[in-house]
């Protein structure tokens, strides 16, 4: 059997499993805690959020992910990896009721990567230059085999506690053996440039509403200010200030949608000192001023409910 036909058969089986355990449009948890499925029967507008360290595989449809000015497009022939927490804009660009968008996401931790590196006796040079914390790579049969073994466990839940960690380890091993495996290595190895930038990312994630001095972040990374700027942008495609701004605006939008509160109050809660500056930056990111944007989103939700 040729490789393309074999891959197609595996993707078809994976699509059937995701359909069975999704059932309807949306994002779905599974009995395997770090494993999630997504189903969408039509293309929808851009969504904003943070991709945490994870492997994403599409089995039907096409998706675009924007990381600052970098565009990543992936389809059933690819997988996408986020090696650190990254604020992104994502959009499903191919989906229909006949062929819905179906995707698999597996979250992982740096300790899991370290375990694979140790067990596989993979030597890592921590002095390698930092690289972008997101990449797209071609899917191969060995990767799909490992993914299917993990997903099939949903049919045999009694096997999950023992086998899910083993199959997850195999999947991560396949990524590490792939053309961009060194990016994952660097995020897990203490002392590497990526590892130190990851510490800065975590600090900003947990304190996004607070102002900071760039010298404080440089101290966290044990770098000079100029090195911090250089490596932070290399990993995330943005500066620390831009990274923080994306987190603030994403959280503000979430608060405005989930609570009955006004834009000025939300602006202060996410760390802005000037409501007018908040409104300008919100409009620049989402295309509309806060009040108009939230009204538009709620109307869309009502139309979806009534459809």
Of the candidates 168, 188, 208, which is a domain's last residue?
188
Q: Where does a domain end: 126, 153, 188?
A: 188
Residue 104, token pair as written in the block: 């698999």
One domain for residues 166 and 63: yes
Domain co-membership, 21 together with 161: yes
Same domain, 164 and 282: no
Cα–Cα distance between 236 and 227 in angstroms, integer? 14
pLDDT at 288 over 80: yes
What is the mean predicted confidence (pLDDT) over 193-219? 96
Residue 307, pLDDT above cutoff 60: no
CA dihedral 157, 163, 169, 170 (to 10 degrees): -100
How many other CB atoms are there within 10 angstroms of residue 154's CB atom?
19
Burial class of residue 15 in the structure, from the number of CB atoms within 10 Å of its CB (0-12 exposed, 13-18 middle, 19+ buried): middle
pLDDT tens for 216-270 read 999 999 999 999 999 999 999 999 999 999 999 999 999 999 988 899 999 999 9
pLDDT over 90 (residue 44): no
Query: Does 220 fall in a domain?
Result: no
- C-beta of residue 131 within 8 angstroms of C-beta of residue 82: no
Any idea what the Cα angle at residue 276 is, between residues 273 and 67, rounded to 5°? 85
Task: Give the range of the structural domain holding residue 92, as residue numbers without chain letter.
Answer: 3-188
Q: CA angle, 252 as apex, 246 and 257 as ends, to 5°?
A: 130
What's the number of domains the chain is made of?
A: 2
Q: Is the predicted pLDDT of residue 126 greater than 90, yes or no?
A: no
Write the pLDDT tens digit of every residue in 144-185.
999 999 999 999 999 999 999 999 999 999 999 999 999 999
| CA proximity to 252, closest of 212, 223, 217, 291 | 291
Same domain membership, residue 246 and residue 147:
no
The helix/strand/coil state of 103 is: strand
Is the pLDDT score of 94 beyond 50? yes
**What's the pLDDT score for residue 148?**
97
Which CATH number do you get for residue 266?
Answer: 1.10.10.60
Instruction: Please check whether residue 211 lies inside any domain of the structure.
Output: no
Q: What is the pLDDT of residue 6?
A: 85
Residue 302: the pLDDT is 52
For residue 272, count CB atoms less than 10 angstroms from its CB and return exposed for 0-12, middle for 13-18, buried for 19 or more. buried
Q: Tell me, yes or no, whether 115 lies in a domain.
A: yes
For residue 297, what pLDDT is reported? 87
Q: Rounded to whole angstroms, how far apart are CA atoms 293 and 282?
A: 9
**C-alpha–C-alpha distance, residues 60 and 103, integer Å:** 7
| 102, 164: one domain | yes
Cα-Cα-Cα-Cα dihedral of 249, 136, 54, 100, to 10°?
Answer: 80
Q: 122 or 233, which is more confident?
A: 233
Residue 93 lies in a domain: yes
125 — pLDDT class (breaks 50, 70, 90): confident
Is residue 216 a part of any domain in this protein? no
| Mean pLDDT of all residues in 282-301 | 90
Report the pLDDT value the prediction gives residue 122, as an integer from 0 to 100. 87
The chain-wide mean pLDDT, for the chain, equals 93
Q: Which of 48, 54, 57 is nearest to 187 (CA)?
A: 54
CATH number of 126's domain: 2.60.120.280
pLDDT, residue 259, reads 87
Q: Which of 105, 82, 106, 55 is nearest to 235 (CA)?
A: 82
For the entire predicted model, the pTM comes to 0.93
pLDDT at 145: 95
Could you say which of 146, 162, 188 is where a domain stops?
188
At 51-84, the pLDDT tens digits run 999 999 999 999 999 999 999 999 998 999 999 9
pLDDT of residue 306: 34
CA-to-CA distance for 73 and 136, rounded, in angstroms? 8
Do 167 and 32 belong to one domain? yes
């Amino acid at each position: 059997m040729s490789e393309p036909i074999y891959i197609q058969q595996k993707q078809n089986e994976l699509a059937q499993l995701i359909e069975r355990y999704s059932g309807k449009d949306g994002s779905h948890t599974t009995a395997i805690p770090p494993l999630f499925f997504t189903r969408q029967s039509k293309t929808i507008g851009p969504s904003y959020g943070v991709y945490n360290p994870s492997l994403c595989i599409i089995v039907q449809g096409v998706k675009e992910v924007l990381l600052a000015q970098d565009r990543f497009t992936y389809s059933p022939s690819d997988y996408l990896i986020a090696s650190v927490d990254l604020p992104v804009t994502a959009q499903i660009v191919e989906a229909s009721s006949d062929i819905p968008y179906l995707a698999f996401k597996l979250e992982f931790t740096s300790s899991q990567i370290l375990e694979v590196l140790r067990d596989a006796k993979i030597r890592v040079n921590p002095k390698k230059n930092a690289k972008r914390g997101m990449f797209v790579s071609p899917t191969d049969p060995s990767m799909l085999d490992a993914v299917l073994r993990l997903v099939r466990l949903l049919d045999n839940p009694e096997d999950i506690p023992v086998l899910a960690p083993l199959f997850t380890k195999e999947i991560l091993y396949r990524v590490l053996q792939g053309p961009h495996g060194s990016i994952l290595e660097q995020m897990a190895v203490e002392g590497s440039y990526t590892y130190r930038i990851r510490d800065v990312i975590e600090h900003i994630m947990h304190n996004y509403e607070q102002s900071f001095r760039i010298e404080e972040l440089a101290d966290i990374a044990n770098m000079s200010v100029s090195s911090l700027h250089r490596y932070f942008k290399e990993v995330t495609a943005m500066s620390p200030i831009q990274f923080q701004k994306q987190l603030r605006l994403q959280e503000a939008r979430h608060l405005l949608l989930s609570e009955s509160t006004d834009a000025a109050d939300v602006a202060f809660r996410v760390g802005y000192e000037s409501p007018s500056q908040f409104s300008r930056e919100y409009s620049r990111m989402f295309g509309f001023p806060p009040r108009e944007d939230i009204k538009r989103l709620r109307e869309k939700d009502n139309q979806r409910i009534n459809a």
